[in-house]
Structure 1
Amino acid sequence: DTGSSCPSARLTSCTPSISKNKGGVSVENAPSENKQWFVLRVSYGRIIKAKAFVEAKGFECYVPMRYKEVKKHDKKRIITEPLLPSFLFVHVTAEQVETLIHDNKVVTNDSRALLSYYFDHTIHRQDNPYCNPPLTIQNEAMNNFISLTSIKNPHIIPITSDNIQFKLGDNVVVTEGKFKGIHGRVARIAGQQRVIVELFDGCLVATAYIPNGIIMIEKETE
């Protein structure tokens, strides 16, 4: 995802010239700023350093955290850890993300880049049909994802398609409780009905148990 070809899409990911605006902007930012939510890959074990680096530049970024319940000496407590330690979400312009990727301070002595593009293998660039553009997330989808992952609940977990016992079902919205307003699709995880938010291919996060009485099927818009 940082430069290799994608077998499923048969497209090569290239360092791009970004011009296509697939994403939206954060509700906290003016549309004229032309910012997008970019998904950047972070080298192993360095998500906190990457977040500090981006924020030191004055840019907005988001690291979803997992509130994990642990037991020690017969006592339970909640600890926090990155939910998706390989990804950093940054809300910047195309020019600003280029600066983050190519800044000399990103490269360390071991030659590992702190940040690199995560490419969208579902489409190709208009100016080069053999290359994928960087992955960006639409504003509405990002807001939904932030709303879910900001809830301090240890039962919110990242999942893969292997965890899902049944095929993803109806598009729904949660109408009550801590998860009110979360949009996603119904599935059964670990024997419980949950709502699954899929931010991009392979990035799925599950709510805690959601009973039938507080979910409403969303009508498809024409």
Structure 2
Amino acid sequence: MGKNEPEAKQWFAIRVTYSREMALKEYLDRCRMESFIPMSYKEVIKGERKVRKLVPVIHNLVFVRSTREKLDEIKRDISLKVPIRYIMDRETRRPLVVPDRQMHSFIAVAGAYDEQIVYLDPTIVSLREGDRVRIVGGVFSGVEGIFIRIKGDRRVVVSIEGVMAVATAFVHPSLIEPVLQK
């Protein structure tokens, strides 16, 4: 990349402290920056009754699509009262960058807010097992991931290496095709 070419936007995994991920998201929305927080509905007690509320699945985690330069600028912005840190890639010791295609699949599944979606700790589930597949129909059409069984159902898992993984609801085998490895 030449000196005059603008840096390409990438998806970064960002950590915040004290469950202030929604405050960071509001700031990023005001700046017209693309971001994503995996959310799900939880029942919470409000007064005397149970209420369904949309809450972050993992507190302190925000995915941001930006340039490294712009994110570094935001980190230095003292008007932003939410300190942010990059989640680092252990091997390269550089900020973790999630490929666009992987993030697109992750958002397609995690953004559905379906009760049947299962969030997984990537250290517990070995995603090396199973075949790499693409869903070719239904609400998750176009999603790529690993085909495995969880809780007795066939599901497709999309993993953000070392951060988190999410599994779709049941996917009928007729809607799945293998992805050939390059």
Whole-Å Cα distance in 2 between the matches of residues 174 and 54 of structure 1? 31
1:110 corresponding residue in structure 2: none
Unaligned runs of 5+ in 1: 1-18, 20-30, 108-112, 124-131
The answer to whether the Cα contact below 8 Å between 2:122 and 2:164 also exists between their aligned partners in 1 is no
Q: State the shift of 1:62 in Å.
A: 1.6
Residue 161 of structure 2: aligned partner: 200
Q: How far apart are the structure 1 equivalents of 2:159 and 2:24?
A: 23
The residue that corresponds to 2:90 in the other structure is 121
User: Aligned to 1:102, which of 66, 76, 80?
Assistant: 76
**TM-score, structure 1 normalization:** 0.68
Aligned pair in 2 of structure 1 residues 71, 213: CA closer, same or farther (>3 Å)? farther
Specify the alignment match of 2:120 in structure 1. 159
TM-score by length of 2: 0.81
- Write the distance in 2 (CA, Å) between the matches of 1:95 and 1:83: 28
Distance (whole Å) between structure 1 residues aligned to residue 10 and residue 157 of structure 2: 23
The percentage of counterpart residues that share the same residue type is 27
Matched, 1:183 2:144: yes
Please name the residue that 2:17 is paired with.
43
CA distance in 2, matches of 1:162, 1:33: 32
**Cα RMSD over matched residues?**
2.9
Query: Which residue of structure 2 lines up, in the alignment, with residue 63 of structure 1?
Result: 37
Structure 2 residues not aligned, in runs of 5+: none
Q: Distance in 2 between matches of 1:163 and 1:211?
A: 25
Alignment of 1:169 with 2:169, yes or no, is no
- In the alignment, which residue of structure 2 is the partner of 1:9? none
| Offset of residue 162 of structure 1 | 7.0
Residue number in structure 1 paired with 2:96: 135
Q: What SS is found at the alignment partner of 2:72?
A: helix
